[in-house]
Chains A and B, each alone.
Chain A
């Protein structure tokens, strides 16, 4: 491809991908509620957003839910990946295959299933039901990311530790977990961004009390295009991109043992 053609192609795709998002960000600073014309720079949409009780509740719910769900899913998913990698047991292949199902299952189907389960078991919808729902799709992502990291884990390290007198718990705590720590961190970041971003499953399982930032955005968008939505969208955008970039840097950087992740 000629450089000129390549530049034109990159430019066009770049515009298609980023221009709409840029519009959202720019209008979050426009000092007019309705006009498309630029009326001057303002931060008042952010101020009113931060002052609104609904936003604060949604932010708090989002933080509580994604932190709890991510912690739980990271613990469960890491143990699962370690067990699948190092142990041989009946049903291991089936479990490995099962891990891919939540990844490919349409959100709407998982949402319907979880709501059906909650209704059938009379579980009150709220933060707990959302946390459990998030963990159910996060586990797979954590286990797959950590499992990928374990691919390069030499079995001889485990054998060496056992040879030197370490029992299973010591092998896990002293050898396996420290060596795969970058993988666990990467898995946790993926899980956290999925949780913060999730709309549909939360929408079905949150009930009235546990609305999160995406639910808030959805409700506001349904009511119409206003600069408040732009401001909230911009905040969420900056947050997820920032976290992801940080995580990418952390994962890509050589850890202190000198090997690159």
Chain B
């Protein structure tokens, strides 16, 4: 990675009483990155965001923005802004007054405020809603206002706490594209917390998978999906077959097998209703489920229960109880490290 980091976390930890929410996170974030912090609820990701925003004080470690430690800086004086999960729009203020609030607190002149608020509302594709109150807007519109209200201050880092979780599925996908567009447009570093792996993979330049208060793997979406380092990451991101390596001998041969645990993604397993060339193993389809674009088959083969994803167009003959041939290539077998608790 190039250049000095914009935001640096050094061994940041936070415990509430005996509960350790964050257990020592060290990571650097570059200017202009879109990073998703991905984890199940309770993994400490929201606490981490609140530590950066300044609503919690770390029990240990340091947080530095542009080389300056933030620990002693109260939230109102940190050059980061947060998009709240429930948006936290001020109900007694109009959309415009909401967006201008941060500028007003920094004593920006009224004319300048109005100009910048207009620009921010245009950026999130919400012109001409300024005189309305938050309650008069739809969920998606409120979400956009919350983003505009934070971005208008031109923070060094924009923090987003599950910003899309309150939206329904269709709107969520539309807003994902919007967030990506906005981030490209303004070039501000986005730190986006989510429990939705699809959201993280499709949005982020880098994904940090968080578990039990730690970053267990940080990498590009492709790295995270295709080369997960541990069983935990593999099972959290995408569907997976986690198999002890010796059990793969029928496919890889005794020499290809060895120790440890491996991952084979369901779509990487070749499947056919007729015998295939090479090292194919015969199995029986136990159950199939139709998902539109793909068909998921549960196949018993070589003493394993394997999940296999097939494009729906290629799924002819894959019916319950049918005999099938499975193929697994050595390059699709990913070695997994044992998880550290």
Contacts and interface: CB of A to CB of B under 8 A. Distances in A.
Contacts of A175: 90
A59 interface: no
A109 interface: no
Contact of A259 (B86, B91, B150): B91
B116 to A, nearest CB: 13
Given A164-B153, A167-B76, A257 B133 contact: yes
B133 A160 contact: no
Contact of A166 (B88, B89, B105, B150): B105
B301 to A, nearest CB: 51
Interface stretch (A37-45, A151-159, A197-205): A151-159
A164 B84 contact: no
B203 to A, nearest CB: 22
Contacts of B105: 164-167, 170
A162 interface: yes
A224 interface: no
Most buried by A among B80, B102, B106: B102
B325 interface: no
Contacts of B135: 257-259
A157 B101 CA distance: 12
A81 B102 CA distance: 26
Interface residues of B, number: 28
Contact of A164 (B55, B74, B81, B86): B81
Contacts of A170: 105
Interface residues of A, number: 21
Contact of B92 (A164, A166, A167, A257): A257
B19 interface: no
B276 to A, nearest CB: 57
Contacts of A257: 91-92, 133, 135
Contacts of B86: 154, 156
B188 interface: no
Contacts of A161: 90, 101
Contacts of A163: 53-54, 75-76, 80-82, 150
B197 to A, nearest CB: 26
Contacts of A178: 92
Contacts of A174: 101
B81 A166 contact: no
Contact of B102 (A164, A256, A259): A164
Interface string A95-120: 00000000000000000000000000
Most buried by A among B81, B89, B91, B102: B91
A160 B91 contact: no
A233 interface: no
Interface in B53-104: 53-55, 74-77, 80-82, 84-86, 88-92, 101-102
B52 to A, nearest CB: 11
Ranked nearest first, the 5 interchain pairs of A and B with the lowest CB-CB distance are A164-B102, A165-B105, A160-B88, A156-B88, A258-B135
Interface of B: 53-55, 74-77, 80-82, 84-86, 88-92, 101-102, 105-106, 133, 135-136, 149-150, 153
Given A162-B55, A175-B90, 19 more contacts: A154-B86, A156-B84, A156-B88, A157-B88, A160-B84, A161-B101, A162-B76, A163-B75, A163-B81, A164-B81, A164-B102, A164-B153, A166-B105, A170-B105, A179-B90, A179-B92, A256-B92, A257-B92, A257-B135
13 contacts: A157-B88, A159-B75, A160-B88, A160-B89, A163-B75, A164-B102, A164-B149, A165-B77, A166-B101, A179-B90, A256-B133, A257-B91, A258-B133
